[in-house]
Amino acid sequence: MNKSLENRLKLIAGDSNVRCDEPMSSHCTFRAGGTAKYYVIPDEYTKVRDVLRLCVEENIPYYVIGNGSNLLVQDDGFDGVIIEIDSALAEIEINGNEIVAKAGAKLSKIAVKALNESLTGFEFAHGIPGNLGGAVTMNAGAYGGEMKDVLKWVKVLDNNGEMKTLKAEELELGYRTSIIVKEKMIVLEACIELHEGNRDEIEMHMKELMAKRKEKQPLEYPSAGSTFKRPEGYFAGKLIQDAGLKGYRVGGAMVSEKHSGFVINYDNATATDIINLMKDVRKKVYEEFQVTLEPEVKILPAVKW
């Protein structure tokens, strides 16, 4: 353990906000995986900036997480700094038909705030188990809606630690990607622009979408949601099912019998179980259909597929 680095991180974020050898299974919805050498929870934008600058200056690998809903840390752990932007940076403000929220705000809470103000357009995000920062970064979407449909502007840190505000049209939002990914920016805050609607209709729509999720997705097991990106012209879940892999298991990991697009932690799976299952699925689908599935889940350190 690098005591000098640990002490410098504590000077920035505070002693109680820096942890060493932190189990990432506690911070990822897969409920599996190894430890982070350093785990930092900044509670101000300037602290996020200063931690980022320290990592860049010392050439230390770092990764920013929110709810951990799209992440898996390998069993050997991550030899770097995990920066958590979650409940310590999660304020939500309503200004007319606009919602300004910090990156740690949960999408479900933003959707409920919108409902309470009779604002429509964010219903699609109510059931997505993630935070605003990750949703903006990956242009999260569901049931016909995407973040790009509602974003007005985003405040970010660039990879030099400089804060800047980008208009939605500058974000290059595409399917599970953005300029934020390409240029390794960190989302701090975003403005969501919605429209006035009927509260009862908004609530009914949210309930309908949640019922669909419960019916079709294995919410009773730990997972990272959709494990693979949607290949152009196909659906990952159907390809996996048609390859005969529904219910396929490696150790404690399994392709969900409810929805083949989900890999679940069925029985105390290790990160290695999950990764090996993903590799088997990719290989089998390619052999059957000549389609290469690309992981939607971020794995640290990166896996050579």
Q: What CATH number did the domain enclosing 130 receive?
A: 3.30.465.10
The DSSP-derived string for 30-71 is T----EEEEEE---SHHHHHHHHHHHHHTT--EEEESS-TTE
Whether 45 and 188 have beta carbons less than 8 Å apart is answered as yes
Domain boundary among 86, 109, 143: 86
Q: How far apart are CA 191 and CA 101, in angstroms?
A: 7
Render pLDDT for 22-68 as a digit per residue (tens, 0 to 9).
Answer: 999 999 999 999 999 999 999 999 999 999 999 999 999 999 999 99
The per-residue b/e assignment along 221-260, b for 16 or more CB within 10 angstroms, e otherwise, is bbbbbbbbebeeeeebbebbbebebbebbbebbbbbebbb
Domain boundary among 174, 201, 228: 201
- Say yes or no: 130 and 188 in one domain: yes
- Say yes or no: 280 and 194 in one domain: no
- Say yes or no: 191 and 95 in one domain: yes
- DSSP lists the bridge partners of residue 164 as 156
| Pairing, β 151-157 against β 186-193 | antiparallel
Question: What pLDDT is recorded for position 246?
Answer: 98
**101, two tokens:** 């929220």
| Pairing, β 163-167 against β 151-157 | antiparallel
Strand residues in 122-179 grouped as ranges (E): 141-142, 145-146, 151-157, 163-167
* Residue at 236 is within a domain: yes
* Block residue for tokens 């390409």: 182
- Average pLDDT on 67-73 reads 95
- Say yes or no: 33 and 124 in one domain: no
Which residues, including other chains, have CB under 8 Å from residue 96's CB and lie 6 or more apart?
A: none
Whole-number percent of the chain with pLDDT over 70: 100
Q: Nearest-5° angle of CA 232, CA 236, CA 239?
A: 105
> What CATH code is carried by the domain that includes residue 66?
3.30.43.10
Using CA atoms of 14, 17, 18, 19 in order, give the dihedral in degrees to the nearest 10: 150
Domain membership of residue 110 as a residue range = 90-201
Residue in 257, 203, 226 with CA at minimum distance from that of residue 141: 226
Q: Pick the catalytic residue: 6, 193, 257, 296?
A: 296
Say how many domains are in the chain.
Answer: 3
- Say yes or no: 240 and 260 in one domain: yes
Q: How far apart are CA 245 and CA 262, in angstroms?
A: 11
> What CATH code is carried by the domain that includes residue 278?
3.90.78.10
Question: What pLDDT is recorded for position 233?
Answer: 96
Q: Pick the catalytic residue: 178, 226, 256, 260?
A: 226
**155, two tokens:** 């405040």
- Say yes or no: 180 and 229 in one domain: no
Rg (CA), the chain: 19
- Say yes or no: 126 and 139 in one domain: yes
* Residue at 211 is within a domain: no
* Residue at 213 is within a domain: no
Q: How far apart are CA 108 and CA 31, in angstroms?
A: 20
Please state, in angstroms and as integers, the Cα–Cα distance from residue 296 to each residue in 138, 158, 176, 182, 270, following that order: 10, 23, 8, 15, 18
Question: What pLDDT is recorded for position 92?
Answer: 98
Question: What pLDDT is recorded for position 2?
Answer: 77
Q: Pick the catalytic residue: 19, 108, 123, 176?
A: 176
SS3 129: coil
* Residue at 71 is within a domain: yes
Is the confidence at residue 1, as pLDDT, over 70? no
Domain boundary among 86, 118, 142: 86
* Residue at 209 is within a domain: no
pLDDT band at 244 (very low <50, low <70, confident <90, very high): very high
- Say yes or no: 184 and 94 in one domain: yes
296 catalytic per annotation: yes
Which residues, including other chains, have CB under 8 Å from residue 232's CB and lie 6 or more apart?
A: none
- Say yes or no: 97 and 193 in one domain: yes
- Say yes or no: 67 and 23 in one domain: yes
Please state, in angstroms and as integers, the Cα–Cα distance from residue 251 to each residue in 71, 145, 269, following that order: 19, 35, 6
* Residue at 286 is within a domain: yes
* Residue at 16 is within a domain: yes
pLDDT band at 239 (very low <50, low <70, confident <90, very high): very high
- Say yes or no: 260 and 287 in one domain: yes
* Residue at 169 is within a domain: yes
- Say yes or no: 96 and 55 in one domain: no
